[in-house]
Amino acid sequence: MRRNMGHHQKHSADDVSKTHQSLELDSRPYNAEMAAEIAPPTAAGRQDRSRRLRNDAVQETRSAGVATGWSALVLAVMSWFIWPVLLGVSAAVVGYIAFRQGARVLGIWSITLGLIAMLSYLVLIPVYYAIT
């Protein structure tokens, strides 16, 4: 009976030792996490953050440019049917804005179609009245 008691005591000492070690291991990540929160940001961290913000801004500008480009293209197509001077100039201006925001193809198409509609109206209407 005494022998079992001694074994039991030895086992409980091992458990205490393992528990103590597991507590030490568990506290290390928490200390590292707290140290990262308290420490001042490094230059690399600031550069990563500024690069990420810059990339987000560029992406946002491009998506806005695509929306602007489609709006300009709609104006350019409408200028072929109604108010060619007003909508043609508007399409060219909005197309230029889209071009500057990164939607280059939509901007070029809008500028081209808007200016062709406007110039054809300004040239063909006087020619029509000169002939008739």
The per-residue pLDDT for range 71-121, each reduced to its tens digit, is: 999 999 999 999 999 999 999 999 999 999 888 999 999 999 999 999 999
Full-prediction pTM beyond 0.75?
no
Q: What is the mean pLDDT of the chain?
A: 77
The DSSP annotation for the chain comes to -HHHHHHHHHHHHHHHHHHHHHHHHHHHHHHHHHHHHHSPPPHHHHHHHHHHHHHHHHHHHHHHHHHHHHHHHHHHHHHTTS-HHHHHHHHHHHHHHHHHTT-HHHHHHHHHHHHHHHHHHHHHHHHHHHH-
Q: Above 90 in pLDDT, residue 55?
A: no
In whole angstroms, give the CA distance from residue 28 to residue 18: 16
Q: Which pair of tokens denotes residue 92? A: 């060219």
Q: What is the mean pLDDT of residues 47-51?
A: 69
pLDDT tens digits, 58-72? 677 667 788 899 999
Provide the pLDDT for residue 31: 54
In whole angstroms, give the CA distance from residue 68 to residue 96: 10
Provide the pLDDT for residue 115: 96
In whole angstroms, give the CA distance from residue 51 to residue 44: 10
Neighbours of 106 (CB within 10 A): 24
- pLDDT band per the 50, 70, 90 thresholds, residue 21: low
